[in-house]
Amino acid sequence: MNAGVNVIRVTVWNENWHEQHEAEVSQRYPEGIHGAIAAALSTDPRFEVRTATLNEPSCGLSQEILHATDVLLWWGHRKHHEVPDDVAQWVHERVLAGMGFIALHSAHFSKPFKALMGTHCSLRWRNTGERERVWNIAPSHPIAAGVPEHFVLERSEMYGERFDIPEPDQTLFLSWFAGGEVFRSGCTWNRGHGRVFFFSPGDQAFPIYRDVNVLRVITNAAAWCAASVDIPFSCPAVEPLEPIDSPQGQG
């Protein structure tokens, strides 16, 4: 929680594998995908931004850092399985206590997102770089502020239905793909005391995180998801609040 302080503490996490192993990606994102997103968020005075990556100790996500994070953005693709179970569990529990969680693109298969959803989070996919048109179907939602009725990503990885997720609390964006598919590309859920947002545009193979509308959605989401509480787990045995008559027991 961040009570009395005016800044939202954002951590942008990235597995940072493609950038280290694929020349094309490192040219596209010399600062890493995390760096590109962090740079965009840093232009907004509401945010205090840090980054964390897979190869840092505890993936850069110690419990101290998580506790000092109001919203965590997550990008992963090839190395989901290398995130230790305990780190994934810390993230999960921190969300349930109040931290926001934004799962970007292939993070649909990340350990924290799958644990929060309770489903496979599977989908249909194709990476031929086709046109995606993102439809804004909830323009009054804070995450859609300033986003047009629809916008185009000329080359995007196709993610298509059926997307195996729980019915969202609210579906904000629906995507159309040139190849014939549709996708619920922006969805919100509450889990525990935390807010979760999934946003699908964003493969490493295209400069999606340079797109002004994509960055606007991510920026809006970081503000909307930010923790307002920090409520630890409890399952208390409690005294009655009203007098209980002792019935002639059947027990």
Q: Which of positions 71-90 make contact with its own copies (CB under 8 A)?
A: none
In the chain, the amino acid numbered 38 is: A
Choose, by CB under 8 A, the member of 74, 75, 189, 197 that binds its own copies.
189
Best CA proximity match to 75, nearest among 45, 35, 41, 46: 35
For residue 67, state whether it binds its own copies (rule: CB under 8 A): no
> Cα–Cα distance between 97 and 17 in angstroms, integer?
30
For residue 167, state whether it binds its own copies (rule: CB under 8 A): yes
Nearer to its own copies, 53 or 188 (CB): 188
For residue 126, state whether it binds its own copies (rule: CB under 8 A): yes
| Spatial contact of 71 and 100, defined as CB atoms under 8 Å apart | yes
| Spatial contact of 130 and 156, defined as CB atoms under 8 Å apart | yes
Window contacting its own copies (CB under 8 A); options: 35-43, 64-72, 154-162, 214-222: 154-162
Window contacting its own copies (CB under 8 A); options: 11-19, 33-41, 68-76, 165-173: 165-173
For residue 8, state whether it binds its own copies (rule: CB under 8 A): no
N residues, the chain: 251
Going along 142-181, which residue ranges are E strands?
150-160, 170-177
CA distances to 7, 117, 152, 169 from 191, in Å: 23, 8, 31, 10
Q: Is residue 168 left, alpha or beta, with left meaning phi > 0 and alpha meaning psi from -120 to 50?
A: beta
For residue 202, state whether it binds its own copies (rule: CB under 8 A): no
Nearer to its own copies, 60 or 98 (CB): 98
Nearer to its own copies, 4 or 247 (CB): 247
Choose, by CB under 8 A, the member of 20, 122, 148, 212 that binds its own copies.
122
Choose, by CB under 8 A, the member of 181, 187, 215, 223 that binds its own copies.
181
> Cα–Cα distance between 37 and 209 in angstroms, integer?
7
For residue 201, state whether it binds its own copies (rule: CB under 8 A): no
| 223: helix, strand or coil | helix
Choose, by CB under 8 A, the member of 4, 6, 57, 250 that binds its own copies.
250
Nearer to its own copies, 56 or 230 (CB): 230
For residue 238, state whether it binds its own copies (rule: CB under 8 A): yes
Q: How far is the CB of 48 from its own copies (least distance, A)?
A: 21
Joined together, the tokens standing for residue 198 give 């999934």
Q: Give the chain's end-to-end CA distance (angstroms, integer).
A: 45
Window contacting its own copies (CB under 8 A); options: 29-37, 43-51, 70-78, 144-152: 144-152
